[in-house]
Amino acid sequence: MFDTLEPSSLPPEDEALRSRVRALAAAATAARPADVRARSWQGFDADFSRKLGAAGLLGLTLPKAYGGGERGPFARFVVVEELLSAGAPVAAHWIADRQSAPLILNYGTEAQRQFYLPRICRGELFFCIGMSEPGSGSDLASVRTRAERTAGGWRVNGQKIWTTGAMHCDYMIALLRTSGSAEDRHAGLSQLIIDLKAPGITIRPIVDLTGDAHFCEIFFEDVDLPADALIGAEGEGWKQVTAELAFERSGPERIYSSVVLLDAWARHLQHIGRDDPAVRALVGDFTARLATLRAMSIACTARLAAGESPVVEASLVKDLGTAFEQHLPVAIGDDLAAHPDEPVSDELYRTLTYVTHVAPSFSLRGGTREILRGIIARGMGLR
């Protein structure tokens, strides 16, 4: 499997985007303390997303005919890396730019491409993903929410849960059962685009341990959709979702969730002047692991740039990446606790508290650790 993860590097023309993104991100985060910037993924700022769209930094991999930049996945890697490193608010456009747009481009009809893609590129339409359901979790093949054929299109009944940002979004791309039963597993699943303002939809935010509410549960009660809500082929939903998840699992977002905390802790060390062998070893460990994970993520991006779907490799990057992200708050908390006489700023304390509270979710979103390791084992021929 590792033979398929060959070292690669970011092309100079894509690296050239970095300064432009960095300037926009710096302006957006100048007045945000570290504990707010640590909420980068959950930071919903439609104005900032529209600025990115106006600067040509959304839809970078889409054809120019649909308003995109007609560039490769490396260009998007640079943009994402800069936004997350700064802790910029990316939630508004995140899902549409990363997953919904490529899915519509690859599987949608020409009419769907013409309608949705230019608006996504301008930061005008926001999407969420309807995969998880009560009782199914990451076992997507067991989804029970059903879309049945009607004279005019589809009728949806059921429930989705743990849907990020649904209360702010315009559309959901949902994985639904269009034939058979949950016991049929992969057969009979399809993806439909759902207008979240349609009658019969109820969205309830879920307040988490930190007091934030970015997850939602969504109820569908006799929701009527037009015939053109279907994206791709009926019954091909499982295949489409599997390819879609490669975009979600391999990127730098699976490495940088705790990076604002890491930066705040590093500044704390510089401020107090602590530079003993133990802390140098810890900083070296963080740096080496981060550099290795970044190299693996770039290698996955190279596979995407080659038109491949690195499902197993992406699962490996996500599993190792989220383990690193979860280790950071524990190790930094232990380090600060080992120096009780050292003054710690309120900002660093709030940032550490927030990241510590949300870190358990890192290995849940985008596929649990157990699911990913099953995919990796299957890819290695072990099951």
pLDDT tens digits for range 304-361: 888 887 888 888 889 999 999 999 999 999 999 999 999 999 999 999 999 999 999 8
Q: Is residue 340 part of a domain?
A: yes
How sure is the predictor about 363, in pLDDT bands with cuts at 50, 70 and 90?
A: confident
Amino acid at 379: G
Under a CB-based contact definition with an 8 Å cutoff, are residues 128 and 166 in contact?
Answer: yes
pLDDT at 140: 74
Confidence (pTM): 0.90
**Band (379; pLDDT cuts 50, 70, 90):** confident
Residue 135 is assigned to a structural domain of this protein: yes
Interval 282-308: pLDDT, tens:
999 999 999 999 999 999 999 888 888
Write down which residue in 109, 125, 141 finishes a domain: 125
Question: Domain range spanning residue 64?
Answer: 12-125
Please state, in angstroms and rounded to a whole number, the distance separating the CA atoms of residues 257 and 87.
9
pLDDT per residue as tens digits for the range 94-125? 999 999 999 999 999 999 999 999 999 999 99
Report residue 204 as tokens. 């309830």
Q: To the nearest whole percent, how much of the chain has pLDDT over 90? A: 73
Q: Are residues 309 and 372 in the same domain?
A: yes
Percentage of the chain exceeding pLDDT 70: 96
For the chain, what is the total number of helices (H) and then of strands (E)?
14, 8
- The total domain count for the chain is 3
Q: Are residues 34 and 52 in the same domain?
A: yes
Of 265, 373, 381, residue with least CA distance to 322 = 373
- Alpha carbon distance 287, 162 (integer Å): 32
List the CATH number of the domain containing 179: 2.40.110.10
Q: How far is CA 350 from the centre of its chain?
A: 24
Residue 250, pLDDT score? 61
CATH number of the domain bearing residue 88: 1.10.540.10
Are 143 and 106 found together in one domain? no
338 and 262 share one domain: yes
The domain boundary, picked from 98, 125, 152, lies at 125
Of residues 282 and 180, which shows the higher confidence score? 282
Instruction: Determine how many CB atoms are found less than 10 A away from the CB of residue 38.
Output: 27
| Dihedral, 211, 213, 217, 222 alpha carbons, nearest 10 | 130
Give yes or no for residue 41 having a pLDDT over 70. Answer: yes
Q: Report the chain's mean pLDDT, rounded to a whole number.
A: 92
| Predicted confidence (pLDDT) at residue 35 exceeds the cutoff of 60 | yes
- Residue 138 within any structural domain of the chain: yes
Residue 264, domain CATH: 1.20.140.10
Query: Per residue, what are the HEC states of 286-346?
Result: HHHHHHHHHHHHHHHHHHHHCCCCCHHHHHHHHHHHHHHHHHHHHHHHHHHHCCCCCCCCH
Give the whole-angstrom CA distance, residue 85 versus residue 252: 10
The tokens for 353 are 């508290």
Do 278 and 350 fall within a single domain?
A: yes
Q: Choose between 185 and 76: higher pLDDT.
A: 76
**Which of 244 and 12 is assigned the larger pLDDT?**
12
Q: Is residue 6 part of a domain?
A: no
The answer to whether 269 and 332 have CB atoms below 8 angstroms apart is no
pLDDT of 246 higher than 80:
no
For the segment 207-213, the average pLDDT, to the nearest whole number, is: 89
Distance CA 14, CA 256 (A): 20
Asked if the model's pLDDT at residue 49 lies above 70, the reply is yes
